A and B are shown apart, each in its own frame.
Chain A
Amino acid sequence: KAGVTQTPRYLIKTRGQQVTLSCSPISGHRSVSWYQQTPGQGLQFLFEYFSETQRNKGNFPGRFSGRQFSNSRSEMNVSTLELGDSALYLCASSLRQSNQPQHFGDGTRLSIL
């Protein structure tokens, strides 16, 4: 069974640009959660999608947004990039709810110059 697939693996952007990251969950998983991981702050929850609806949202500015498609694939978008957005962005999927075991993809490493 294929795991969670995130693309791209690496991205380099400059301040002010925007970026879109993609996540394909494990087959049959309908909940997708996004996290930002930095050395100082650890893993921080961005948002969770289930059945194309945002079910939970973390404490991030509106520049961070996401969506989920009918096949459960999800994208997250960050607009007007700032240097502090440099981080590892991780996607995790679970069967139905985020309180069930979540399985992570390999992440997208985003660097802002």
Chain B
Amino acid sequence: QKEVEQNSGPLSVPEGAIASLNCTYSDRGSQSFFWYRQYSGKSPELIMSIYSNGDKEDGRFTAQLNKASQYVSLLIRDSQPSDSATYLCAVTRGGSQGNLIFGKGTKLSVKP
């Protein structure tokens, strides 16, 4: 089983819709969870971090974490063409000093 799994996509949504991106992880000791956005030819950009179960909202983005199910998701409301990018889920290995493990990313395409 891969440590961090994401659907590679592409996920295509119309402009203005909600995009839902999902990620599962295997290490029950993981404590920190991050979503990064990576535009083609660019480096990853941090957009959300979440550390406890539940929802965390920041503007049009909502991160959801369920540690019992080992599941983290990212919702993008009112999707815009500028949101078209690859979204990377990152999870820390168990322990306070575990390094980040990245999923391979989900490619999102928002159609005007």
Picked from A58, A90, A106, A107, the residue with its CB within 8 Å of the CB of B99 is A58
Cβ–Cβ < 8 Å partners of B92 in chain A: 98-99
Known: A43-B88, A43-B102, A58-B99. A101 touches B44 (CB 8 A): no
Interface SS majority for chain B? loop
* Chain B minimum-CB-distance residue to A35: B102
Binding site for A on B (CB under 8 A): 31-32, 34, 36, 42-46, 49, 88, 90, 92-93, 96-105
Cβ-defined contact, B99 with A33, below 8 A: yes
Nearest chain-B residue to A97 (Cβ)? B97
When distances are taken between beta carbons in the complex, the residues of chain B under 8 Å from A90 are 43-44
For A, the interface residue count at a CB cutoff of 8 angstroms equals 23
Supply 11 A–B pairs (Cβ within 8 Å), ascending by A: A42-B88, A42-B103, A45-B100, A45-B102, A48-B99, A56-B97, A56-B98, A56-B99, A90-B43, A101-B46, A101-B49
List residues 47-92 of chain A with CB under 8 A from any CB of chain B: 48, 55-56, 58, 90
By a CB distance below 8 angstroms, the chain A residues around B43 are: 90, 104-107
Complex-state Cα separation, A97 to B49, whole angstroms: 14
- Please name the residue on chain B nearest to A39 by beta carbon: B104
Determine if A101 and B99 form an interchain contact, defined as CB atoms under 8 angstroms apart: no
Shortest Cβ gap from A91 to chain B (Å): 9
> B46 — which chain A residues lie within 8 A by C-beta?
101-104
